[in-house]
């Protein structure tokens, strides 16, 4: 069984991306409304302008600083229409 087959059997909604041998989950939904969109981007942009640092929800990559790398994550996932998929 290939690694990608194993991943697809262990997750719901095809919400992981295989990069090499590692599986990553999408991020960017800062306000947890189920959709990565412009509201997430605006919130992160405001925090970036304020030079926010620390353990905050707008720090998408977890490096302790809200900056353009976090904005890129949200922007890329917004363009890919990343949204939450839930079972009914």
Span 28-50, pLDDT tens digits: 999 999 999 999 999 999 999 99
pLDDT: is 40 or 26 the higher one?
A: 40
pLDDT grade for 5, boundaries at 50, 70 and 90? low
Average pLDDT over residues 47-63: 94
Span 72-88, pLDDT tens digits: 999 999 999 998 888 87
Mark residue 14 as left, alpha or beta (left: phi above 0; alpha: psi -120 to 50; beta: remaining): left
Enumerate long-range contacts of 73-77, CB under 8 Å, 24 or more apart. Answer: 73/27, 73/28, 74/28, 74/30, 74/36, 74/40, 74/41, 74/44, 75/41, 76/28, 77/26, 77/27, 77/28, 77/36
Question: What one-character DSSP code corresponds to residue 75?
Answer: H
The pTM of the full predicted model, rounded to 2 decimals, is: 0.79
Does the pLDDT at position 1 exceed 50? no
């Amino acid at each position: 069984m290939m690694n990608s087959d194993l991943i697809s059997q262990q997750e719901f909604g095809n919400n992981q991306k295989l990069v090499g041998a590692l599986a990553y989950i999408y991020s960017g939904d800062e306000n947890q409304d189920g959709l990565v969109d412009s509201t997430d981007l605006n919130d992160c942009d405001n925090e970036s302008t304020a030079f926010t640092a620390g353990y905050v929800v707008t720090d998408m990559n977890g490096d302790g600083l809200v900056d353009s790398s976090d904005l890129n994550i949200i922007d890329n996932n917004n363009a890919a229409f990343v949204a939450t998929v839930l079972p009914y």
